[in-house]
Chains A and B, each alone.
Chain A
Amino acid sequence: MTSDRREFLKKLGIGVGLASVAGQGLASLRSLVPNVSYDAPTVVKLGIPAEFPEGMKFLPEQRLFVFREGNVFHAISAVCTHLGCTVRAEALSSPVVKKVGGTELRLTHRFLCPCHGSQYTGDGQNVAGPAPRPLEWWALSIAPDDGQLVVDLAKPVERSFRLTTA
């Protein structure tokens, strides 16, 4: 009996010790996984639509290209789909008209990535280099309160997306 108890207490002691070590380790690791995100919000007001220039505007803070043709808007992400560098827009010598998502789009630029040489056409389609996917298109909307253009950087949309303002 005594030897059983001794055996049991020994195992208990070792078990508690090992569990403590494991617990400390897990707690240390878990504490490094953030519970609260202080990231910038993904829904951002960009300004009054009427103030956007005709053609393309690059918004570095949002890593975003906003395109305007009259009162029709769409927005393409500037984040390369390969490894996340910011692509640069290069103006085409002559604009190309391409059917994108059912409607014709006048493409004035193409996009090039400085990190690994990916290339995209003006609608974000990947055409060369290591990029595995086209650039994201983000949802645009009009803020109900002040009429500003709003982008949702967490809401990808089809390439047929167009926002027509009044």
Chain B
Amino acid sequence: MAVLPTVPPEAPRTAPGVHLRRLWSVRPASDREAGDAIVANFILHWFPARSLKESMEWRYSLWLGTISTALLALLVASGIPLLFLHIPSVERAYGSVKDIENVVTFGSWMRAVHRLGAHLMVATVFLHLVRVFLTGAYKNGVGRGQNREWNWVIGVVMFLVTLFLSFTGYLLPWDQLAYWAVTVGTNIASAVPLVGAQMRELLLGGRAIDQPTLTRFHVLHVIVLPGVLGVLFAYHMWRIRKDGGLARADHATRLPAPAEVPAERTRTKTYSLLGVARGQGPLIRASSVERPETTVSSVPELTRRVALVMLGTVAVISILAVFVPSPLEEPANPLVTPNPAKAPWYFLWLQEIVTDTTIRIGSFTVNGALVGGVILPGLLVALLVVWPWLDRSPAAAAGRWFPRSRRTQNAVFLVIVAIVLLLTIVGTFSRGPYWHLYWPWQAWPEMPTRF
């Protein structure tokens, strides 16, 4: 009888890149585990294994991008129940929103969360843009192959999509605000030379505001624009890693190393630890970056901060929404324009400039709709888009607040921001019936609401 040697059962081999541990640790005990937590994880796409401490400083980025992301997520989440409850029909939309407000359990709170989240998102996305401009974070630093300009352009587009999402969103209740906003908004579109009339017809789905109009704005609001924003967001995040992290990282490489850098670490190397595959990413002369003193494991240091910011944002909105009710104007009435008919605050500066920019030269008149509604905002956006290529400041100015070399452009930018804010304030507090100017403390005259 032959005795077969007992062969121990062979452990199945893992395919390269596949990790045995299905769950990853949020509280890694070692650097190895911390690295594993990133590599074995979806977050690998977004976060590097180790993050630069300086990039995570609160006072550098103010975390405005993360707050915007949290708001986007919250808006998608709170939008879904509203999507079930809202009826996109001109006869029933108003009633359904009224039901959400007054009949549906937690309806008014959910609507307030969605509305406040949207208002705040416009604000934080704008502030994020301001922060990136002031810190020159669209500038390439010391890495080879960086392309931060494009991420800035993507960001500008995302800001515009955010505004368009807000616009299409406040149309859905089909109240007076909605109806007259569509009237004015689409008339601005029709002021575009040559294609204006066709653009208006395409937006309205006809020549008058009716059911096709509401259907179009509804589809844009719930599918098209969120989809576009989602794709752009993913690309925006991916580009940050492709560009070697925040511009702060480039700034950090220029600082003297906190400890003496061993000779072998000063050779040219990639940003691999900061997230890009070796050889693909920008090359920098590593000095203080990547040293254990300057970086931390992304899990849990970065993930914890992100979680904190996101949960904090959700908490703030949830609480605010209890106290701030969402207004609903009278049902859409094509027969009566409200007096004054005001846009939401983030469009009031535009309402101001379309008011003030009708140009008359002799008998020749250019409508303010074209100058203030198309040309001026178009110029501002065009300027934002091309600015990274016009900015000739040195690479050392990237990733720092108010560097000397960018003093003039930062000042000009802030002046433009201040003008926009000033016009917004005038529109909000100083415009009364017939769009006349009143002091904020001045009472408006009694106006008949009907003829």
* Chain A residues packing against B (C-beta within 8 Å): 32-34, 37-40, 58, 60-61, 63, 81-89, 112-117, 119, 129-133
Chain A residues near B206 (CB, 8 Å)? 34, 37-39
Contact yes or no, A114 B435, CB < 8 A: yes
- The answer to whether A132 and B358 touch (CB under 8 A), given A33-B202, A34-B201, A39-B208, is yes
Contact yes or no, B367 A114, CB < 8 A: no
Chain A: CB-nearest residue to B359: A132
What are 20 sample pairs from A and B whose C-beta atoms fall under 8 A apart? A34-B206, A37-B206, A38-B206, A38-B210, A39-B208, A60-B335, A82-B369, A83-B183, A83-B184, A83-B373, A85-B180, A88-B339, A88-B434, A113-B434, A114-B435, A115-B341, A117-B355, A117-B435, A117-B436, A130-B367
Give, as a whole number of angstroms, the nearest-CB distance from A108 to chain B: 14
The A interface is mostly helix, strand or loop, or mixed, namely loop
Give, as a whole number of angstroms, the nearest-CB distance from A154 to chain B: 10
- The answer to whether A116 and B435 touch (CB under 8 A), given A33-B201, A60-B335, A130-B356, is yes
Contact yes or no, B341 A85, CB < 8 A: yes
Contact yes or no, B338 A114, CB < 8 A: yes
Q: Does B79 contact A (CB under 8 A)?
A: no
- The answer to whether A61 and B435 touch (CB under 8 A), given A39-B207, A129-B355, A131-B358, is no
Chain B residues near A39 (CB, 8 Å)? 206-208, 210
Chain B residues near A84 (CB, 8 Å)? 183-184, 187
Kindly identify, within residues 180 to 211 of chain B, every residue whose CB is under 8 Å from any CB belonging to chain A: 180, 183-184, 187-188, 198, 201-202, 205-208, 210
Contact yes or no, A114 B341, CB < 8 A: yes
Q: How many A-B residue pairs have CB under 8 A?
A: 102
Q: Measured between alpha carbons, how far is A116 from B343 in the docked complex, in Å? A: 11
Q: Measured between alpha carbons, how far is A115 from B184 in the docked complex, in Å? A: 9
Chain A residues near B433 (CB, 8 Å)? 114
Q: Measured between alpha carbons, how far is A116 from B342 in the docked complex, in Å? A: 9
Contact yes or no, A37 B367, CB < 8 A: no
Chain B residues near A130 (CB, 8 Å)? 354-358, 367-369
With a 10 A CB-CB cut-off, give which of A84, A112, A131 has the most chain B CB atoms.
A84
Chain B residues near A88 (CB, 8 Å)? 337, 339, 434, 451
Q: Measured between alpha carbons, how far is A40 from B208 in the docked complex, in Å? A: 8
- The answer to whether A61 and B354 touch (CB under 8 A), given A40-B208, A84-B184, is no
- The answer to whether A132 and B337 touch (CB under 8 A), given A83-B183, A114-B434, A117-B435, is no
Q: Which A-B residue pairs are the 6 nearest by beta carbons? A: A117-B435, A60-B335, A114-B339, A130-B368, A130-B358, A132-B367
Q: Measured between alpha carbons, how far is A115 from B357 in the docked complex, in Å? A: 14
Q: Measured between alpha carbons, how far is A123 from B122 in the docked complex, in Å? A: 43
Q: Measured between alpha carbons, how far is A31 from B435 in the docked complex, in Å? A: 39
Chain A: CB-nearest residue to B450: A60
Q: Does B231 contact A (CB under 8 A)?
A: no
Q: Does B365 contact A (CB under 8 A)?
A: yes
Give, as a whole number of angstroms, the nearest-CB distance from B220 to chain A: 11
Chain A residues near B234 (CB, 8 Å)? none
Give, as a whole number of angstroms, the nearest-CB distance from A79 to chain B: 10
Kindly identify, within residues 330 to 372 of chain B, every residue whose CB is under 8 Å from any CB belonging to chain A: 335-341, 351, 354-358, 365-369
Q: Does B226 contact A (CB under 8 A)?
A: no
Chain B: CB-nearest residue to A119: B434
Chain B residues near A115 (CB, 8 Å)? 180, 184, 337, 340-341, 351, 435
Q: Does B212 contact A (CB under 8 A)?
A: yes
Give, as a whole number of angstroms, the nearest-CB distance from A58 to chain B: 5
Kindly identify, within residues 387 to 412 of chain B, every residue whose CB is under 8 Å from any CB belonging to chain A: none
Q: Measured between alpha carbons, how far is A81 from B338 in the docked complex, in Å? A: 17
Give, as a whole number of angstroms, the nearest-CB distance from A110 to chain B: 11
Chain A: CB-nearest residue to B358: A130
Chain A: CB-nearest residue to B188: A83
Contact yes or no, A132 B366, CB < 8 A: yes
What would 14 more interface pairs be, CB under 8 Å, given A87-B337, A130-B368?
A32-B202, A32-B205, A33-B201, A83-B369, A85-B184, A88-B451, A114-B341, A114-B433, A114-B434, A116-B435, A117-B434, A117-B435, A130-B367, A132-B365
Give, as a whole number of angstroms, the nearest-CB distance from A87 to chain B: 8
Contact yes or no, B367 A116, CB < 8 A: no
Using an 8 Å CB-CB cutoff, how does the interface string of B256-295 with A read, 1 for contact, 0 for none?
Answer: 0000000000000000000000000000000000000000
Chain B residues near A131 (CB, 8 Å)? 358
Q: Which residue of B205, B212, B357, B434 is within 8 Å of A112 (Cβ)? A: B434
- The answer to whether A34 and B205 touch (CB under 8 A), given A84-B187, A89-B451, A130-B354, is yes
Chain A residues near B188 (CB, 8 Å)? 83
Chain A: CB-nearest residue to B338: A114
Chain B residues near A89 (CB, 8 Å)? 451
